Structure 1
Amino acid sequence: MDAHRFTCRVYYEDTDLAGIVYYANYLKFIERARSEWVRELGIDQRALKEREGAVFAVRRVEADYLSPARFDDLLCVTTTLHHASPARLVLDQEITREETPLFRALVTLVMLDAAGRPRRLPEALRKALSV
């Protein structure tokens, strides 16, 4: 599966007093990228929740902060499938500015039902990922 790329700009609201991206905002950037990746796979997350009561949840994040992003930087978030099983996805996500790596994360996602219990990934997603 090819890597998915998502671009975003750093706004003033994303930074701290020093003009550097606040550490928690990197998690927001990679969340947006994951949402767009799932959308491009043909999965409508709103419909999935309404029809099946199923939602994605982050189970684990391993993050490395490598270099700071700053106000007005144009960032690229690359998402790559690291591993998939019928019940979970593990993704490699990297944020770069031009070719400079700024942030890397290994993210484990699971699917939950309406009661918050784990469930299998939807059939359409498993097919899209060949799981």
Structure 2
Amino acid sequence: MPHIFPLRVYYEDTDLAGIVYYANYLKFIERARTEYVRELGVDQSALKRDTGLVFAVRRVEADYFQPAIFDDVLTVETSVEAATGARFVMLQQVKRGETVLFSAHVTLVALNLNTGNPARIPADIRQLLLCD
């Protein structure tokens, strides 16, 4: 089952035509990923503080199908498609009802903040991502 994150389109999310500005979909999916990981029990602040490990977006492949407009009620569905030692790939879809408006494959990597180098995702977190 994918993680479901509900949201509403506010005026600030739109352009002059009342259509969601394309870059705001990236903000929507970022919020959904953060809530998904939080609900898995991963405290990203503690992870950063205790280990120096953070997650960073490495790649986004996005498709825009239909526009969302002011006051729409949307959901972001997030699921993990793959995970390796140092990265994971998520499928995220922004929907209005059952209609997919936006879809993205997002590749995230673990980074060591002290060195800036890639790092291994802790096994317990990798297991959480793969079991959900």
TM class by shorter chain equals over 0.9
User: 1:130 offset after TM fit, Å?
Assistant: 4.5
Provide Cα deviations, 1:26-64, integer angstroms capped at 9, x if missing partner. 000000000011011110000011111111100000000
User: 1:126 offset after TM fit, Å?
Assistant: 1.6
Report sequence identity in percent.
62
User: 1:122 offset after TM fit, Å?
Assistant: 2.0
The question of whether the paired residues in 2 share the 8 Å contact of 1:5 and 1:77 is answered with yes
- Tell me how large the CA RMSD over aligned residues is: 1.2
Equivalent in the alignment of 1:112: 111
Equivalent in the alignment of 1:21: 20
Q: TM-score, normalised by structure 2?
A: 0.94
Paired residue secondary structure (1:109)? strand
Q: TM-score, normalised by structure 1?
A: 0.95
How many residues in Structure 1 have an aligned counterpart in Structure 2?
130
The question of whether the paired residues in 2 share the 8 Å contact of 1:43 and 1:124 is answered with no
- Residue type of the alignment partner of 1:113: N
1:100 is aligned to 2:131: no
Equivalent in the alignment of 2:29: 30
After the TM superposition, which residues 1-131 of structure 1 pair with which residues of structure 2 at under 5 Å, given as runs? Answer: 2-114=1-113, 115-130=115-130
- Residue type of the alignment partner of 2:78: T
